[in-house]
């Protein structure tokens, strides 16, 4: 069974990024529900842009890391034969 095209072993390698993604998602939700610094359109936009860009960047980096791991595993299996 594969999720997002990744094997089980690759998903286990990528779980190290699940904790930071969860923390970032928590802060996005927390700041959306309880605006700790008030509601200022400029500062709120900058705040969500910073946290959202870090979330998106880490998610994209995790995906391409998974693809690189899959490629290296397949290449290693080909050379082993």
The pLDDT value given to residue 60: 95
- Helical H runs in 1-81? 8-14, 18-33, 41-80
User: Is the whole-model pTM more than 0.75?
Assistant: yes
Tokens standing for residue 39: 């509601």
Tens-digit pLDDT string for the chain (81 aa): 566 677 888 888 888 998 999 999 999 999 999 987 788 889 989 999 999 999 999 999 999 998 998 888 888 777 766
Residues 6 or more apart in contact with residue 14 via CB below 8 angstroms: 6, 62, 65, 66, 69
Contact 73, 9 (CB under 8 A): yes
Q: Give the structural domain span for 58.
A: 8-80
Residue 3 lies in a domain: no
Provide the greatest CA pair distance for the chain. 62
Domain total for the chain?
1
Asked, for residue 21, whether it belongs to a domain, the answer is yes
Amino acid 74: pLDDT: 80
Is residue 1 a part of any domain in this protein? no
Number of residues in the chain? 81
Q: What is the pLDDT of residue 81?
A: 64
Tokens of 59: 């998610």
């Amino acid at each position: 069974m594969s999720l997002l095209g990744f094997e089980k072993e690759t998903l286990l390698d990528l779980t190290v990024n699940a904790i930071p993604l969860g923390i970032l998602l928590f802060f996005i939700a927390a700041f959306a529900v309880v605006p700790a610094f008030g509601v200022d359109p400029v500062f709120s936009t900058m705040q969500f842009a910073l946290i959202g860009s870090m979330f998106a960047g880490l998610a994209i980096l995790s995906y391409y890391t998974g693809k690189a791991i899959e490629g290296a595993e397949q290449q290693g299996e080909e050379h082993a034969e």
